[in-house]
Amino acid sequence: MNDSVKNLTLASILTSLFVVITIFALSTGLGYGIYLDFAVPIFFALVYLKCGGKYTVLSGIVSVLLVFMVVGDLAGALFISQSFLLGVICAYFMDKDSILMEDVFFASILGTFTILLIDLYTKGLTGYSLITEFKEMAAWFPYKDYFNFFIYLLISFYVGGMCFCIYYISLFLGKRLKILTQNAEKKYYIFRNLKVFNRFLCLKRSTFYACAIYIFIIELLNILNIKIDFIYLKVILTSIEYLSFYYLFRDSIIIIQDYILTRSKKVLYVRLFMLAVLLPLFFVFKLEFLILIVISYIIDVKNQIRLHQKKIVDLYYEKVKP
């Protein structure tokens, strides 16, 4: 039996198992919450790693259709399709030869598109939309700007945190089941030692530039007071901006810390730097952010820190890989 037939057969068996469990879960009311948010995407991420993308997509489509036809729960079917897509997105990046933090970053962006697309479909089919509800609440909220900021921040970091958890748990379960691909295996070992290697996991320089340009464009639109009336586009653009802020801020801190530690060999200087960063953080965040990314850019260009970080991670994996 060749690999294609084996993968198709296994995907069919797993699809049948998933449909039975999901029908039971939705029928009893136990399927909402943790099951749909985490169990479903992790399941399809593992199917992707074992059977490949083609059969996983087929499995997801069949599963959604069967659950909808049997249970008749349109909202449940839409949420399953959302979770299925999130699982496929995370598994796709796990299987790529890429940087771990970039995986989570791009998975979070695609996850934001996915969740808002499903919300848009839900609104069209059922008339209910969580995003529209938030917009209506903002209309009578006394501090509208703060409310909008909180909602956009909540959406971006909710999706980012969910993709991180799906990615993380899927890697560890995949390792236990011995189904990780070569690239996923490497990321598993990096993740397992994340405390040690967190300071060596930055975005690529091209991604860093792209995020900085994106933030500049969005901020320029805000300065020019150009309004975006379509709420879904507004949420997507703002959520991606907040994710970019976070990852660029994190990258800049890591690169400057690495430079200080390498040059001075004193942890005290790193702690003083962090104190200097934290004190004005909530008062002049954008100015501080601009200063940090400029300094980290200069340091990286002169010292090629991102390349050195990648070499360190690769050398470690070569030593510990099975």
Q: What is the pLDDT of residues 168-227, one digit of tens each?
A: 999 999 999 999 888 898 899 888 888 878 888 888 889 999 999 999 999 998 888 888
Residues 65-107: pLDDT tens digits? Answer: 988 888 777 777 888 898 999 999 999 999 988 888 899 999 9
Confidence of residue 166 (pLDDT cuts 50, 70, 90): very high
pLDDT for the residue 47 = 92
pLDDT for the residue 88 = 94
Gap between the Cα atoms of 65 and 281, Å rounded = 49
Higher pLDDT, 172 or 3: 172
pLDDT at 21 over 80: yes
Q: What is the dihedral of CA 61, 65, 66, 68, to 10 degrees?
A: 140
pLDDT for the residue 31 = 64
Burial class, 163, CB count within 10 angstroms (exposed 0-12 / middle 13-18 / buried 19+): buried
Gap between the Cα atoms of 185 and 214, Å rounded = 32
Gap between the Cα atoms of 1 and 278, Å rounded = 60
Closest of 181, 183, 293 to residue 245, by C-alpha: 293
| Section 151-161 average pLDDT | 85
Quote the pTM value: 0.88
CB atoms within 10 A of CB 280: 12
pLDDT for the residue 285 = 85
